[in-house]
Chains A and B, each alone.
Chain A
Amino acid sequence: MLAQFLQFLFSGITVGATYALAALGFTLIYNASNVINFAQGEFIMLGGMLAVFFAQAGLPLPVALLLAILVPAVVGVLIEKFAIEPVKGAETVTLIIITIGASLVIRGLVAVTLGKGTHSLPAFSGETPIDILGATLIPQSLWVLGVTAVVVVALWYYFNRTLQGKAMLATSYNRLAAELVGINTSWVLFMSFAMSAALGALGGILITPITLTSYDVGIMLGLKGFVAAVLGGLGNGLGAVVGGLLVGILEAMGAGYISSAYKDAIPFVLILFILFFMPRGLFGGKSTDRV
């Protein structure tokens, strides 16, 4: 009983950490530009696929992983420069279509260059499972959770203790006011795309040894990251992390106890119910609109 519950919990938290990283990516870009980046899932895919590609090309694993984070970050910046900045202030639908266009381009390019096969990455530190109260925890899960925790703490420090981070926060509260006190808001936009692409790629790399990867895994992962971000209240960093873990855990529990066929539907049922009763997510504050 307990062992089974723990087993579901472990797998849920592990996948949830990836959703949390994706949700943080959504949050960063949303705060800087009010754009929902539907290409976020493709960064997750890109991270995993590039890590596999660079590792197979014979690069040492740490170098391969670093490149697999840097390249998506550059892609993120390119999208921002050439597709988002020129249409500042466009309608939500227009921005949604642009980011979906970008995701199609990325997915298509990966399918053409790296193929449509499914790939895996060796676990970072062995495959021997750890036994906890009858449930097994694979070492790669610890990597996922550990790295995610470090990233979350680092981001917290960046946004609360450094001038750059505070400038980004200020822009998210009020762009015009931020510009008036001398914050370079285009730099903020640039940074937010670079950082969220890197976060997504990192999540994709960490989870690949467990869930495998292929050119088309980005859509679902991205949409679930979006669910996590909305669940926590769009724009709320802490909410994104909690939302990600919650989506992961509930999905694993639902798949285990209710129906594994409907596993992918669980996050979306969850978000519909949450939005019906809490239209701004779990941690979203009340907002007032200027008329």
Chain B
Amino acid sequence: MKKSVYNGLFLVIAILLVLPFIVPNSFYLDLAIRMAINAVIVLGLNLLIGFAGQISLGHAGFLGIGAYASAVLPTHFGWHPLLAMGAGAAATGILAALVARPIFKLKGNYLAMATLGLGIIINIALRNEAQWTGGPDGMPVPAMGLFGFELSNDKQWYWVVAILLSVSVWASLNLIDSPFGRALRALHGSEVASQVVGVDVVRYKVAIFVLSAVFASLMGSVTAHYVGFVSPNFADFFHSIELVTMVVIGGMASVYGSLVGAVLLTALPQALATFEGWETVVFGAILMLSMIFLPRGLVPTLAAKFGKGE
């Protein structure tokens, strides 16, 4: 692997190391934590959408499974949070693997429909099973304990999330340059051509779908513990769209693009709060304008402009 690939990673780590010492107050620290959490989710989703070229409009459903596993299992059954998190990830992995085989025979818009449907079904189930999930009002999540040490303040959370993000960036960079990653990029380019050279197309698509779903589920659990509360909105269609938008605005098939997309779109609602009542309009307009003028996403467009690849 070229050395320059890791320069970006070092930059990310450097920023993560400096950030907690320069943020002016806890509001911005909280924002930074949520940005980092979203960045990890978007990295996983970008592997699926950007590198393998498969759409998912239901990823918030997987986030929801993870988040609710972390809320429901410790609350109602007394499970240890880590065990609950693992159970949520396992359940998500099994569900994703079960539906992936039939789903990935589909292409383009049919795939969009199937993943969208899956996400909506999960969301409706979370809303309706009120005796377990608290229904539309949501439910509190117990605190996360790690080896007898309770994660309680934002500083501790920040370092946990920063480590998760650094590891995810490193893993993504490695994954896309591995035989697995090359197979994914090949099937994005042409499914038939990659089949001809011996790539088992469906197996790879299923694998990356399951991987990104498990990623989402784990981060759903992390978010639930961090926020201390879950509600069905966390798993709704709009959140799925937000995640996909982060991928596309940052730049498809761009690891650093995922980070930029997550940072921008997590900050945007805060910035729009000043528009009082017009947030939805402005948010929609920004989505449209950025897709019309930067269809390839920010990072790839800028990289092309300044003549250096990632």
Contacts and interface: CB of A to CB of B under 8 A. Distances in A.
Interface of A: 30, 36, 83, 86-87, 90-94, 96-98, 100-109, 111-112, 219, 223, 226-227, 230, 234, 261-262, 264-265, 268-269, 271-272, 275-276, 279-280, 289, 291
13 contacts: A86-B292, A96-B112, A96-B244, A97-B244, A97-B291, A100-B284, A103-B284, A107-B280, A226-B113, A230-B113, A261-B128, A262-B124, A272-B117
Interface stretch (B22-30, B100-108, B200-208): B100-108
B109 A92 contact: yes
Given A87-B295, A108-B284, A275 B114 contact: yes
Nearest to B277: A112
Interface majority SS (helix, strand, loop, mixed), chain B: helix
Given A36-B112, A91-B295, A108-B281, A265 B120 contact: yes
A80 B61 CA distance: 31
A94 B284 contact: no
Interface of B: 49, 55, 57, 99, 102-103, 105-106, 108-110, 112-114, 116-118, 120-121, 124-125, 128, 190, 192-193, 237, 241, 244-245, 247-248, 252, 277-288, 291-292, 295
Nearest to B101: A276
Contacts of A109: 281
Given A92-B108, A93-B55, A98 B102 contact: no
A284 B193 CA distance: 26
B284 A104 contact: yes
Given A102-B288, A279-B105, A269 B121 contact: yes
A102 B284 contact: yes
Given A91-B252, A96-B55, 18 more contacts: A30-B109, A36-B112, A87-B292, A87-B295, A93-B244, A94-B291, A101-B286, A104-B281, A104-B283, A108-B280, A111-B280, A112-B281, A268-B117, A268-B118, A272-B114, A275-B113, A275-B114, A276-B102
B96 to A, nearest CB: 13
Contacts of B121: 265, 268-269, 272
B209 to A, nearest CB: 15
Nearest to A229: B113
Nearest to B113: A230
B113 A265 contact: no
B287 A98 contact: yes
B109 to A, nearest CB: 5
Nearest to A35: B109
Nearest to A290: B192
B106 A275 contact: yes
**Leading 3 A-B pairs by shortest Cβ distance:** A104-B284, A108-B280, A101-B287
A103 B288 CA distance: 10
A97 B124 contact: no
Contacts of B120: 223, 264-265, 268
B117 A112 contact: no
Given A87-B291, A87-B292, A219-B237, A265 B124 contact: yes
